[in-house]
Amino acid sequence: MRIYVPRDAAAKAVGADAVAAAIEAEAGRRGLPLTLVRNGSRGMVWLEPLVEIQTEAGRMAFGPVTPEDVPALFDADWKRHPLALGPTEELPWLMMQTRLTFARCGITDPLCLEEYEAHGGFEGLHRAIGMSRAEILQEVIESGLRGRGGAGFPTGIKWKTVSEAQADQKYIVCNADEGDSGTFADRMIMEGDPFTLIEGMTIAGLATGATRGYVYMRSEYPDAVEVMIEAVRIARGHGLLGPSVMGSGRAFDMEIRVGAGAYVCGEETSLLNSLEGKRGVVRAKPPLPALEGFLGKPTVVNNVISLASIPVIFQKGAAYYRDFGLGRSRGTIPLQIAGNVKRGGLFEIAFGMSLGQIVDDIAGGTASGRPVKAVQVGGPLGAYFPRALFDTPFCYEEFAGAEGLVGHAGIVVFDDTADMLKQARFAMEFCAIESCGKCTPCRIGAVRGMETVDRIARGDAAAIPLLTDLCATMKSGSLCALGGFTPYPVMSALTHFPDDFAPMKEAAE
């Protein structure tokens, strides 16, 4: 018997370790030979722990499984059982997706190099090794890949800037400080398919002339840290990292570094300061990190998903990847669906699906059964979208045109019991707590923002234009996106949900 039980942190949080132990114990009692694989998650969080068994007809899924269910599953020979879901690959959630970056996640043993290679792993790196730096850069530019961390900057242009910079040392830094609420794609890929990130970073090194890489991770992701450290060790032991990558004579090696938990260190210059052992505060730009980054040297700073998308681009070609998407938003985006939803999890799809389709069809509406009131896209600094904007295509420019952000593609759903004035206050409070304190609009503005929202809550209508003016100041005057983007949730709540800001009615009268 070959049975799969996820080692993903979300699955473990709802009992996957206990289920795995129960399966091993039950197989032992029955004298049945068992191979237990701790795979990554398939992304269907509402079905976790999702247990799969290998059969002649493919893998069959059961879930959500508890330890108490295990004896009955063995009694049923893992066939007819109330928890049986059928062939995993035929589950609607998976069949509707276009899995490119997450193609292996949930399928392979995350730390088995042989399985990674059997499913197309390192084909992209093999191809890149045979290309010149200019050819690698052109491939990334032609793919249309843009930063998946939030800014949406063209990845190939950033790499080209670093490649053309003159320096004795260059670096590739992976921003794995995934701190946005409702986001978990970085964690899932690092826990479920770590070699794809290693492969992507190595190709980035070949393209830019960088020989050293760092993955900057959150201390709140202990499982991901453990998997990444082991994956780097395995890759180095097989000659995939080191002085001669795959025997090519071209060097690239990397290390894992763990931050101390500051949200602002998700901003690239704060991250670089923290990586250097300094206090995590924002640096003024210029100079750009691409020219003077880590230790003052040219540095590529890319998000996990940006780098993890590189291998499939080189495996299948830039044109293949570019064919997915809409407008200037090319390729696929891993949607992370959370909040008050029936079906939460990771759903990878080409850019272009409407927000309404995502919330109503994919997520299945609210778990509470009440009407959807608002959807926050892009983390705690993202705008709140009302149902009137649900026809907005999930793309960078289209969301910007609706005064919103794609961000890291975290989607948090709220039903009609949500108080949007309280959500606006939370945005200001979050900014006040997480501010590095370097610039006044963020450090002081967020505190004044909390006070102003409190005035509105007490019935002071005169505070509403003050809040609008304060948001304009923070947006235009903050050094980084923490203070600069905090106005998005505040102003979207104020604009789209005026009834929750009761004094607005009094002001109109």
Q: Please report the pLDDT score of residue 261 as a whole number.
A: 82
Per residue in 343-391, pLDDT (tens digit) is 999 999 999 999 999 999 999 999 999 999 999 999 899 999 999 999 9
Between the alpha carbon of residue 252 and those of residues 126, 134, 171, 200, 204, the distances in Å are 14, 18, 10, 12, 10
Task: Compute the distance between CA of residue 113 and CA of residue 199 in angstroms, rounded to an integer.
Answer: 12
Range 420-508: architecture per CATH: Up-down Bundle (1.20)
Which are the contacts of 248, defined by CB distance < 8 A and separation ≥ 6? 129
| CA 78/CA 26 separation, integer angstroms | 13
pLDDT in tens, 282-327: 998 899 999 999 999 999 999 999 999 999 999 999 999 999 999 9
Instruction: Check if the beta carbon of residue 266 is closer than 8 Å to that of residue 152.
Output: no
Q: Are strands 410-415 and 372-377 parallel, antiparallel or unpaired?
A: antiparallel
At residue 482 the predicted structure's pLDDT band, cuts being 50, 70 and 90, is confident
pLDDT class of 509 with cuts at 50, 70, 90? very low
Tokens of 34: 């068992």
pLDDT at 88: 98
Q: Residue 147: which of 247, 254, 268 has the closest Cα?
A: 268
Mean pLDDT along residues 53-62: 96
CATH architecture designation of domain 113-320: 3-Layer(aba) Sandwich (3.40)
pLDDT digits (tens, 9 = 90+) for 93-130: 999 999 999 999 999 999 999 999 999 999 999 999 99
**How far apart are alpha carbons 498 and 189 in whole angstroms?**
39
Integer Cα distance of 259 and 346 in angstroms: 25
Among 137-141, 168-172, 461-465, the minimum mean pLDDT is found in: 461-465
Domain 324-415 class, CATH top level: alpha beta
CA distance 211 to 213: 7
What would the DSSP string read from start to end of 119-160? TTTTHHHHHHHTS-HHHHHHHHHHHT-B-TTTT--BHHHHHH
Q: Over 50: is that where the pLDDT of 484 sits?
A: yes
Domain pair 324-415 / 420-508, same fold:
no
Angle in degrees, CA 201, 435, 340, rounded to 5: 75
Check: CB of residue 126 under 8 Å from CB of residue 246.
yes
- Rounded distance, CA 83 to CA 69, Å? 9
The residue type of 178 is E
Write out the two tokens for 485.
């983007």
**By C-alpha distance, which of 370, 424, 423, 410 is closest to 182?**
410
Q: What is the mean pLDDT of residues 419-442?
A: 93
508 pLDDT tier (thresholds 50, 70, 90): very low
Record the pTM: 0.94
What is the three-class DSSP state of 69? helix
* Domain 2-91 indexed as CATH 1.10.10.10: no
What are the E-state strand segments in 18-87? 35-37, 51-55, 58-62, 84-87
When pLDDT is cut at 50, 70 and 90, the band that residue 503 belongs to is: low
In the chain, domain spans = 2-91, 113-320, 324-415, 420-508
Confidence of residue 502 (pLDDT cuts 50, 70, 90): confident
